[in-house]
Amino acid sequence: MDSQLLLNNVEIFNGKDARTFSGNLLIRNNRIETISAAPIETPSERPVTVIDGKGRFLMPGLIDAHWHAYLCCNTMTDLLAGDPSYTHLMAGREAAETLQRGFTAIRDAGGPVFGLKRAIDSGTLRGPRIYPSGAMISQTSGHGDFRMIYEHAHGGCGCEMAHVEQIGASKIADGADAVTAAVRENLRQGASQIKLMAGGGAASLYDPLDVTEFFEEELRAAVRAAEDWGTYVMVHVYNPRGIARALKAGVRSIEHGHLIDEPTMALLAESGAWLSMQAFAVEDNTYPSPVQQAKHLQICNGTDRTYRLAKKHGVKLAWGTDLLFDPANTKNQNHGIVKLQKWFTNFEILRMVTCDNARLLALSGARNPYPGNLGVIEEGALADLLVIEGNPLERIEVLENPHDNLRVIVKDGVVCKNTL
């Protein structure tokens, strides 16, 4: 039977335009059917749930374009040596919390989340829409190589897969054929896009930030395999050489990029690819290893310059958090939005975390698990929205307290929270 949800008397931010407007909104099943300044009449023979917004701010649901639904809420110790059933239960609990923070969709940037996505989509668990990448594909000694020093990568040696490969967190692949096989395996399991590691990172021990990872022919193999399935490749990379190589190979989304130089930023703008950035700050993470902490500081020192260069060259910008390995830190997901006010107006921020991020997610094309428009309030769009106490166009900080300020959360036409 059709379900109807009527939200009356709300101030609507549509995700695209700076000017809001007062109106009413009717959702039928999982899509926005009618938006009107005049009262909306509903058929009397169909049940309808009515929520009076009393003039409150209504906007699209938040989207995190670089989230790790499995890795964010589990410690490195549990991931490398713990019981996988425990870590998956932690991810299930965290998914519900993510939705309660107002994030109705996330692009998962690597990890074993296919089962979690299925549980959410079937209604077994509550959580955001998940655009899964599957196992992060890394070269030997790359950023996704989290093996213990005594473990071997799975290959022609006849040995068992390393633990991180067994749980589906990462996949070690060397050579174009191995990369192609890894991409196809992720697509077989349901990946909406593919994630490769194209340069060093902070969380891993064996890859300095300056290294370039994967040969161009390996990256091209991944891009070709993904494009054959109607989708795209995203890569983790900070340094200019790795970014340039990835762009030349046809990569459509650069994740991070905090050590980029101006010529490479100009190349990124010319390519039309996306820069998926995070407002990393020193206080975000404390790593146990001095080597890791030094890399983290170097990355954070590049945040300001990278944002300014991206704005200067008109690069297509997306936003995400990339919180990792700390269950106590996931509650700061919304703070990552507030940090953006150093570089952007409140309107630019809201557009980025809704409409712009949704445009990036839509690059998954034929592999999009949720066909339809996200990140906007318009007729025909998927019904993911928030009703907020306060106006984030005036004070973006209201998003930092989702418990009190997110009064209504609707995902896929279903009311997930209502405190009005």
CB-based contact 285:241 (threshold 8 Å): no
Q: State in words which class domain 4-61+374-418 has.
A: mainly beta
Q: Determine the 3-state secondary structure of 125 from DSSP.
A: coil
pLDDT grade, residue 44 (50/70/90)?
Answer: confident
| pLDDT tens, position by position, 216-269 | 999 999 999 999 999 999 999 999 999 999 999 999 999 999 999 999 999 999
CA distance 319 to 399: 15
From 159-163, 217-221, 342-346, the region with the lowest mean pLDDT: 159-163
Amino acid identity, residue 393?
A: L
The pLDDT, as a whole number, for residue 289 is 86
Q: Span 45-58, mean pLDDT?
A: 94
Q: Which helix (H) or strand (E) segment is 228 a member of?
A: helix 216-228
pLDDT grade, residue 80 (50/70/90)?
Answer: confident
Q: Span 171-191, mean pLDDT?
A: 98
Query: Could you give the percent of the chain with pLDDT greater than 90?
Result: 88
CA distance 34 to 378: 8
pTM of the model: 0.97
Q: State in words which class domain 62-343 has.
A: alpha beta
* Residue with the two structure tokens 């609507």: 12
Q: Which of 302, 137, 134 is nearest to 210 (CA)?
A: 302
Residue 154, pLDDT > 70, answer no
Give the Å distances, CA to CA, from 323 to 70, 220, 312, 365, 389. 11, 29, 27, 26, 26
- CATH 2.30.40.10 residue ranges for the chain: 4-61+374-418
- CATH 3.20.20.140 residue ranges for the chain: 62-343
pLDDT grade, residue 155 (50/70/90)?
Answer: low
CB-based contact 229:252 (threshold 8 Å): no
CB-based contact 80:71 (threshold 8 Å): no
The pLDDT, as a whole number, for residue 146 is 84
φ and ψ at residue 104, rounded to 5 degrees: -90, -10
Q: Span 343-365, mean pLDDT?
A: 99
Amino acid identity, residue 5?
A: L
Tokens describing residue 322: 């990339």
The pLDDT, as a whole number, for residue 308 is 99
Q: Determine the 3-state secondary structure of 163 from DSSP.
A: helix
